[in-house]
Amino acid sequence: MKKNNDNIIPEGFFWGGAVTSFQTEGAWNKDGKGPSIVDARPVKEGYSNWETAVDFYHRYKEDIALFREMGFNAYRTSISWSRIFPDGEGEVNEKGLQFYDDLFDELISNGIQPVITLYHFDLPLALAQKYNGFASRKVVDLFDRYARTVFKRYGHKVKYWLTFNEQNLVLTKPQYWGVSLDGVDHKEAMLYQVAHNVFVAHAKAVKSLHELVPGGQMAGMVTYLATYPNTCKPEDVIANMKTKELLVDFFFDVFSNGEYPTYVIKDLERKGIIPIGEEGDAELLKENTVDYLSISYYQSQTVSAEKAATADEKGILSGVTPNPNLKTNEWGWAIDPIGLRVCLKDMYARYRLPIFITENGIGVREELNDQNTVEDDYRIEYLSEHIKQMKVAMEEGVDVIGYLTWGSTDLISSGGQFEKRYGFIYVNRGESDLRDLKRYKKKSFDWYKRVIASNGEELDALMSKSVR
């Protein structure tokens, strides 16, 4: 990409927003869609279900017109596997395929590049019930069939793809991959077996994309929790290093290098829990590395060796503890823009691959004011400071190709909360009261429009200077 005069951000840089199908579309049982594991989740008291979400399924043209007004040139969403194959493995659902054809056409006609995630925690329910999700190699093969189906259908419309959203959560939230650990004697062994199966599924999708879509670009994606030693004690430094290795580096190493790193192999050998593979797995991983790397970034934490030693059955997150030097949002997530720069610099130094920031944002409880808007200066400040740190990392040589905020409109959080609002566009509904679902522009709408129009030059003059 070509740089614009003195602006470190090049022409063609991707600006936009990111969502998932299940958190926005609604229409959970319309036009042949089968149930997913999300649809079967128990709904906590006072929370939302995902049946209607923000009704993007029926209102996408209205929303895309607003995205175009903001200046989006990229929009990340996911394809619902159970819209394409209602039970995950039977006949393809043409109405589901047609919906995404229409959606991608609408985005493209408005100058917006679809950036598409194949899997965002919404396995067809039948595959969880029948096979225990990605604990089974059968589901790995079915995922490849699904991936090849959508590559053939949409490969001429979609260039940028991601296999699994936040793939590193497989070790901490296996339920997102349709896996139950009930009755499993050695849970850690099962976690790494599922992780291996998902790596194989990822590599199969990379292979299929490169075979079927000339010029197609595939990413491996993690949620990057920046971590620091809790103190300058060497014990905390090592504890932090080990946490980062298993939480982040492990996945990027496999995505980029095509093999398990030695620090993982030695640990699994010592514990006697090497995952069971199939012939050809090693070659598959080695020959199908990614084209770029993708992250979600929201917060940072510290790691305490003492806490890790005393924690009980919390695995790789056992030593993680809040950083007392940082402010948090109302959900306790630390606000750390410099942490984004730390992540970007470390990633690029290790892997030398383009980086796409495909999620960054802040959730806040919000209501419309008398002018039918939201004065969300806190969101402007949060995003502005993160973009500033991204730009500093780019000045230091990091190749960043895009920045997508989490949410465009408000949406239902992955935990089922609608009042945790992320968007530039307020959607008029509550947790259970759907109201009229009307869209209203927040103050940040016009701010982000100016950011995009200036290619990241016009941020907020009231913000403090970036740390250099």
Q: Which among 62, 94, 166, 188 is annotated as catalytic?
A: 166
Identify whether the C-beta of residue 340 lies closer than 8 Å to the C-beta of residue 297: yes
- 168-176 CB contacts, 8 Å cutoff, 24+ apart: 168/222, 168/223, 168/247, 168/248, 168/250, 168/251, 169/223, 170/134, 170/194, 170/195, 170/198, 171/195, 171/246, 171/247, 171/315, 171/316, 172/315, 172/316, 172/317, 174/133, 175/37, 176/121
Closest CA to 127 of 90, 99, 100: 90
Q: Which among 25, 359, 366, 381 is annotated as catalytic?
A: 359
Q: Is 359 a catalytic residue?
A: yes
Q: Is 235 a catalytic residue?
A: no
Q: What is the 3-state secondary structure (H, E, C) of the chain?
A: CCEECCEEEECCCEEEEECCCCCCCCCCCCCCCCCECCCCCCCCCCCCCCCCCCCHHHHHHHHHHHHHHHCCCEEEEECCHHHHCCCCCCCCCHHHHHHHHHHHHHHHHCCCEEEEEEECCCCEHHHHHHHCHHHCHHHHHHHHHHHHHHHHHHCCCCCEEEEECCHHHHHCCHHHHCCCCCCCCCHHHHHHHHHHHHHHHHHHHHHHHHHHCCCCEEEEEEECCEEEECCCCHHHHHHHHHHHHHHHHHHHHHHHHCCCCHHHHHHHHHHCCCCCCCCCHHHHHHHCCCCEEEEECCCEEEECHHHHHHCCCCHHHCCEECCCCCCECCCCCECCHHHHHHHHHHHHHHHCCCEEEEECCCCECCCCCCCCCCCCHHHHHHHHHHHHHHHHHHHCCCCEEEEEEECCECCCCCCCCCCCECCCEEECCCCCCCCCCCEEECHHHHHHHHHHHCCCCCCCCCCCCCCC
CA distance 128 to 131: 6
Closest CA to 50 of 415, 296, 365: 415
Q: Where in the sequence numbering do the catalytic residues fall? A: 166, 359
